[in-house]
């Protein structure tokens, strides 16, 4: 199985979680002036990055 196939499989496995995290990110209000909700946005982005690392680990372990 190729690396791309392993990554695709790991993403498919986590699809629901990815969608929920992205939905929660785009639902955060971003009014003017900017910066009012950046702390909430940073938490969601951190969650997405953690999930991306987890997917990368799954993909390499499946090798």
Q: What is the pLDDT of residues 10-44, one digit of tens each?
A: 899 999 999 998 999 889 888 777 678 888 888 88
Task: Look at the chain and report how many structural domains it folds into.
Answer: 1
More confident residue, 38 or 63: 38
* Per-residue pLDDT, 53: 87
- The Cα 63–Cα 12 span in angstroms is 16
* Per-residue pLDDT, 16: 94
Domain that holds residue 10: 3-61
* Per-residue pLDDT, 36: 80
- The Cα 50–Cα 32 span in angstroms is 29
Neighbours of 34 (CB within 10 A): 8
Q: Global pTM? A: 0.64
* Per-residue pLDDT, 63: 61
Q: What is the mean pLDDT of residues 36-62?
A: 84
């Amino acid at each position: 199985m190729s690396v791309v196939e392993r990554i695709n499989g790991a993403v498919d496995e986590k699809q629901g979680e990815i969608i929920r995290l992205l939905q929660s990110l785009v639902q955060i209000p971003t009014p003017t002036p900017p910066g009012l909700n950046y702390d909430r946005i940073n938490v969601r982005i951190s969650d997405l990055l953690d999930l991306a690392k987890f997917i990368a680990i799954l993909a390499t372990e499946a090798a």
